[in-house]
Amino acid sequence: MKTDSANQPTARDHAALRNALLKLTATHKAVCTAVTVVVAMAWYWLVVRLVAFGQGIDYSGLEALGGAATGMLKRYNPFFWWALAALCTLIIAYFLVSFVRGSRRRVNARMVSAEVISGLTAQLSDPAKTVLRWVWDDTRFPITVGDLQQTARELRSGRAAKIQLAQAHQALLTP
């Protein structure tokens, strides 16, 4: 697949898209990072307290169960509390990942203002604009942050050259 390098996106295109996306998603990234850090710190504090509570349990009041049962409870006590901590960690991680994914979906669906698109298209080369038009397939709806992210991915994967080759194929097959 040989293409003309003058008709390919430039490093400036990648930088313009990266900067626009950074401005559009910076708040989302900061909020998700802050929430993750706060939840991790709070959970660490709670795990330490939970394990300390488990170590402080006194089974001497259960002598009626017998010495073997009390010995077994004392022997397996730390494993129980660490297993409970691990289970709660998985549940909290599940909810945290769900929060981040939901937040990312909302950001990807956010519409981009005309001013941002105007500034971006002034910086993009013609091949990069072609890729943006290719990604933005339904022009009845405004361009979203997700469209810009997909444009950046497609530019990195060589979509401009593929579009150019498809146009050459179409020209050859048109009577």
Nearest to 20 by CA among 89, 158, 156, 122: 122
Confidence at residue 138, expressed as pLDDT on a 0 to 100 scale:
86
- Please answer whether residues 100 and 125 qualify as being in contact, where contact means their C-beta atoms are separated by less than 8 angstroms: no
Q: Say if CB 41 and CB 96 are below 8 A apart.
A: no
List of the chain residues with pLDDT < 70: 1-6, 59-60, 62-64
CB contact set of 88 (below 8 Å; sequence gap of 6+): 43, 47
Alpha-carbon gap, residue 151 to 157, rounded angstroms: 10
Identify the CA nearest to 158 among candidates 20, 8, 12, 2.
Answer: 8
What tokens does 150 get? 């997909």
Q: How far is C-alpha 108 from the geometric centre of its chain's CA atoms?
A: 10
Buried b (16+ CB within 10 A) or exposed e, 106-136: ebbeeebeeebbeebeeebbebbbbbbebbb
**What does the alpha-carbon distance between residue 116 and residue 121 come to, in Å, rounded to a whole number?**
9
pLDDT tens track for 1-16 = 444 556 778 889 899 9
| Entry pTM | 0.75
pLDDT for 6 equals: 61
- Is 121 strand, coil or helix? helix
